[in-house]
Structure 1
């Protein structure tokens, strides 16, 4: 994906940042406590399994950072942005 294509897709998920020379997107989600963060990690895992697309995830007290990249191509694909939008939707719906 070119940098211009990445930026076009990123406008649909504006809270995500582009990293590593446009080869990855990342977002840190904030929560009130560890339990809420962990519950979100479980939702991320469920989505990843159902989509067959597995992000890198780190979490701790009150935060979850999700990093998306299509590892097979070592860069970004439209699917990364679709997963990002679905994760954004999960946080909006509770």
Structure 2
């Protein structure tokens, strides 16, 4: 599997009741989205995107929001002057799921288009 394989996938609804990915499983998927990092004992996936100004960061955050709404899998987004921080976690399982990596790959693809 590579990042292209991840972007071709759709998020599946997570109903909870399943175990989150182990740190080892998350590390294996992380190689497909190498600019992202695991945080909080491998329960979150985070990347900070850099921009020339606040408005570019705000526009990117809006595009990420639209993408995530269409997929039904929503990140925590933080913006400031020249940056947009995107953090995924599957809240129903309090950890990471393949959906988080699918969305990370799709956000990377969105950033490459910007």
* Two-structure CA RMSD over aligned residues (Å): 0.6
**TM-score when normalising by structure 1:** 0.98
The gaps in structure 2 that reach 5 residues or longer are 1-20
User: Superposed, which structure 2 residues align to 1:11-30 within 5 Å?
Assistant: 11-30=31-50
Corresponding residue pairs, total: 94
Which runs of structure 1 show a deviation greater than 2 angstroms over 4 or more consecutive aligned residues? none
Q: Which one of 85, 88, 91 corresponds to residue 71 of structure 1?
A: 91
Indicate the structure whose relative CO is greater, using CA pairs within 8 Å and at least 6 residues apart. 2
**TM-score when normalising by structure 2:** 0.81
The gaps in structure 1 that reach 5 residues or longer are none
- Rg: which structure is higher? 2
